A and B are shown apart, each in its own frame.
Chain A
Amino acid sequence: MSEKLENGLAAMRGEIDGKVRSFFSSCVHCGICAESCLFYTETRDPRYTPIYKTEPLRKLWKSEYTFWGKLASRLGISKPMTDADLADWEELVYDGCSMCGRCSMVCPVGVDIAMIIFKVKHGLAMAGFSPEGLVGATQRAVDIGSPMGITLKTVQAMIKHVEEDTGLEIPMDVEGAEYLALLSSNEIALYPEYLESLAKIFAHSGVSWTLSSDAFEATNSGLQIGNKAIAGQLVERVVAGAKKLKVKTVISPECGHAYTALRWEGPNFIGRAYSFKVVHILELLDELRAQGRLKTTGKETARMTFHDPCSIVRRGGVEAQPRNLLAPMAENFVEMRDHGSMNWCCGGGGGVSSNERAEGLKLTAFNRKKSQLDEIEVETVVTACSNCRMVMEDGVEANEMDVELVGLTEMIAGHLADGRAD
């Protein structure tokens, strides 16, 4: 057995807990999960059936936790797992799964398939079977601090531009601020309007906030690639930054996986609870709205819908907030047929969009979103995840669709009532 394989199997073995045992003991291989997965529905390739993607872990569980598996191993008649087995699953898990978790919503015996797929991903990452693009991004995150190689200088340059454009000061390293805002790589490189929007909204609402020169990056490549140690290392940077500035709350940006990494999995990656709160930007904005500290004016007349980012809504529980925020601004709002916790993924979550090899498959998977949008004939799609936005912009362009993509925070900033709300 190669050292790589041993590392991978050891990592997966460490993931077999009571939950995993109950899941594998309950699965009757009905295949219902296939119909919930856009990689299956858009390709009709049975290999993309969600539960099939968990096969390496199921095989390990079977050989080490079941009577027949143990007996077969003892008699030497079972087929041991090989490097080739793991290599075969690399494409399925990294290219053909966006970790959207829709499969976990429909399993009749309640198997959280997305959770198991992440455990397989962890094993693959530990065995060194990960796509080149993600490996590079993860390395840059560790070495430089950002998967896109963004440095503090880049952020400072962006801040300068935003300050010039808005006439507002972007607070940096302000000790004792109430909120520490983080940015995703996409928001720094592609959508600087996010930071501009934050500055406008927080000035309007009188929020005490800051950026941190030590912890500005929210993107967690460790989560995307499935390497828990690196994920923990990246979370620790945020924890240290928050501690240094003594903030009460850290704001996760409009980025789905960053929210998962920080809000839900972060404390588990580092093995302890935080001394601060984590909120998604939409949670905070909705709270400000409810307190009367966020007032908007004017209406968007375009026919529009909201794309629910999977990690924020289905796997994060932030479903009502975007609708509460949109309601006063969207005059012609229409929901997609499947929305909220059963919405379809954009096709680029879970690191798929950072994986160049998966580009073609990602665009094929986008056909599901295209069908959803074609059905309701909208002019504008609002979302709250920079990755979803980027993936959908690619899809819209590739399919020559006449649809505009807008970030929700940006839309709110464009509708702020004059003066301070408080």
Chain B
Amino acid sequence: MAYLIDGPLWYFSLAVFCIGVVWRIGGIVFARRKADFSVARGPAAPGAFKTLFSRFVPHREIAPQIGIQVVAGYLFHLGLFALLLFAVPHVEFIEHNLLGFGWTPMPHWAFIVASQFAFLGLIVLWLRRLLNPVSRLISTFDDHAVAILTFIVMLTGCLALLRGFEELRLLHRFSVEIWLMYFPFSSLMHTFTFIPSRAFTGAWFGRRGIDA
């Protein structure tokens, strides 16, 4: 089992992830786009660039109503990326198996803080999805599936690091492999597709001379 999880399944899941992501992004970038015959008032590119970053901060007009989602969203995403890129085992894994070099990992206390942020954010967002009438109505099976899968990946990862059992490490790696294979076929793709999405909309606003 360890051989399968550390070997063929890892490479297979990585291949599915990479090919799937490239395929999905290619499907967006190279899909037909209708020409716009209207005369632009302003340039599209600066609008696209601006919107790419401006949407990281909510409009002040709506911020009070969505505060919980914004704070929970930032806690989850920042915590998750900190764990992914700076947890000691991840840095070592990247150095020995992927890039051939590493960087300074985060100290143990930072790992604890980041994981607590990530868990808190994810749980709040998921509870909101389940309890808020709007989120409950519009959520799909996939939305719940990615939340559960991500939760399992984070939980097994923390347990593996804190307890140090080989079985837990394998369980974490296996859950990561499932997550990687599900990624291109799920809303996890927003990790990449938010870029063209924001850019398309920003370009549209830019052409019309709208500050968005």
Measuring CB to CB, which residues of chain A are less than 8 angstroms from any residue of chain B? Answer: 17-19, 21-23, 25-32, 34-36, 40, 46-47, 49, 51-52, 65-68, 104-112, 115, 263-268, 270-274, 277, 314-317, 319, 337-338, 341-342
Q: Does A52 lie within 8 Å of B138, measured CB to CB?
A: yes
In whole Å, how far is A109's beta carbon from the nearest beta carbon of chain B?
4
Whether the Cβ atoms of B33 and A17 lie closer than 8 Å is yes
Known: A25-B28, A342-B61. 4 other contacts (CB 8 A): A26-B189, A49-B137, A267-B36, A342-B62
Taken together as a complex, chains A and B put the C-alpha atoms of A210 and B210 apart, in Å, by 30
Query: A34 contacts B194, CB within 8 Å?
Result: no
- What are the residues of chain B within 8 A of A107 when measuring CB–CB? 55, 201
Question: Are B212's CB and A22's CB within 8 A?
Answer: no
Can you list the 4 inter-chain pairs with the closest CB atoms, starting with the nearest?
Answer: A110-B198, A267-B37, A18-B31, A317-B209
Nearest chain-A residue to B209 (Cβ)? A317
Q: Is the Cβ of A17 less than 8 Å from the Cβ of B201? A: no
B208 near A: Cβ within 8 Å?
Answer: yes
Q: Given A22-B193, A104-B201, are A34 and B134 also a contact pair (CB < 8 Å)?
A: yes
Cβ–Cβ < 8 Å partners of A27 in chain B: 187, 190
Shortest CB distance B194–A (Å) = 4
Q: Does the CB pair A273–B37 fall under 8 Å? A: yes
If over half of B's interface residues share one DSSP class (helix, strand or loop), that class is named, otherwise mixed; here it is: helix
Within 8 Å by CB of B208, from A106, A264, A272, A337, lies: A264
Please tell me if the beta carbons of A51 and B138 are within 8 angstroms of each other in the complex. Answer: yes
Determine whether the beta carbon of B62 is less than 8 Å from that of A36. yes
In the bound complex, CA of A18 to CA of B196 (Å): 9
Q: How far is the CA of A264 from the CA of B42 in the complex (A)?
A: 13
Interface string of B22-63 (1 = CB under 8 A from A): 001001111111111111011000000001100110110110
Give the Cβ gap from B168 to chain A, nearest Cβ, in Å.
Answer: 29
Instruction: Tell me, in angstroms, the Cα distance from A27 to B210 when the chains sit together.
Output: 23
Query: Which of A27, A28, A51 has most chain B Cβ within 10 Å?
Result: A28
Query: Per a CB cutoff under 8 Å, which of B29, B52, B134, B208 touches A46?
Result: B134
Asked if residues B138 and A31 are in contact (CB atoms below 8 Å), the reply is: yes
1/0 per residue, CB under 8 A from A, across B171-206: the answer is 000000000000011010110011011111110100
In the complex, the answer to whether A31 meets B38 with C-beta atoms within 8 Å is no
> In the assembly, what is the distance between CA of A274 and CA of B42, in Å?
18
CB distance from A135 to the nearest CB of B (A): 26
Cα distance, A23 to B58, chains bound together (Å):
18
Is B132 in contact with chain A by the CB < 8 A criterion?
Answer: yes
A-chain residues with CB within 8 Å of residue B36 when the two chains form the complex: 267-268
Chain B interface bracket (under 10, 10 to 19, 20 to 34, 35 or more): 35 or more
A112 CA / B185 CA spacing, docked (Å): 22
A235 to chain B, nearest CB (A): 11
Given A19-B33, A31-B134, A268 and B190 contact (CB-CB distance below 8 Å): no
Q: Is B135 in contact with A110, judged by CB distance below 8 angstroms? A: no
Assess A25 versus B193: contact at CB under 8 Å? Given A36-B62, A107-B55: yes
Decide if B28 touches A18 in the complex (CB within 8 Å). yes
Nearest-neighbour CB distance to chain A for B152, whole angstroms, equals 18
Residue numbers in B under 8 Å from A263 (CB-CB): 38
- The residue that B66 contacts in the complex, of A32, A314, A317, with Cβ under 8 A, is A32
Chain A to chain B contacts (Cβ below 8 Å), 28 pairs: A17-B33, A17-B34, A19-B33, A23-B200, A25-B28, A25-B197, A26-B189, A28-B143, A29-B129, A29-B135, A29-B140, A30-B73, A32-B58, A35-B66, A46-B136, A65-B27, A104-B201, A106-B66, A107-B55, A108-B56, A264-B38, A268-B34, A268-B38, A270-B37, A273-B37, A273-B38, A314-B210, A317-B208
Instruction: Provide the residues of chain B in CB contact with A270, threshold 8 Å.
Output: 37
Contact, CB under 8 Å: B69 / A66: no
A66 in contact with B194 (CB, 8 Å): no
Given A18-B28, A22-B196, A106-B62, verify A111-B38 contact (CB < 8 Å).
no
Which chain A residues border B142 with CB–CB below 8 Å? 68
Q: Name which residue of chain B comes closest to A23, CB basis.
A: B197
Interface centre among B202, B211, B212, by most A CB within 10 Å? Answer: B212
Q: Is B65 an interface residue (CB 8 A)?
A: yes
Question: Which listed residue (A19, A267, A342) contacts B59, Cβ 8 A?
Answer: A342
Cα–Cα distance between A18 and B197 once the two chains are bound (Å): 9
Q: Which residues of A contact B164 (CB under 8 A)?
A: none
**Residue picked from B28, B140, B204, most chain A C-beta under 10 Å:** B28
Q: How far is the CB of B91 from chain A (nearest CB, A)?
A: 28
